[in-house]
Amino acid sequence: MDENELKELLARENPEFRRVLEEHHACETALDDLVAKPFLNDAETLRVKELKKRKLALKDRMYQMMLARGK
């Protein structure tokens, strides 16, 4: 089973994984909206940093769950 298949399986079967995946996508969308702006004020620049950190933490959590499922 490849990575995408495992993600799809966990998204269907595991409510926690689905929640983390959805939050990851929400961070990605918010981040895309911010970086599309021609200029960011200080608060928006800070928000970009926070979103990147949160997105990475969520990705790490998803991979932990994927590794646990694969065992």
Give the residue extent of every domain in the chain.
Answer: 3-70
Q: Are 31 and 52 in contact (CB under 8 A)?
A: yes
pLDDT at 71 over 90: no
Q: Give the whole-angstrom CA distance, residue 57 versus residue 63.
A: 10
Token pair in block for residue 63: 């991979």
pLDDT tens across 22-67, in order? 999 999 999 999 999 999 999 999 999 999 999 999 999 999 999 9
Alpha-carbon dihedral sign for residues 55, 56, 58, 59: positive
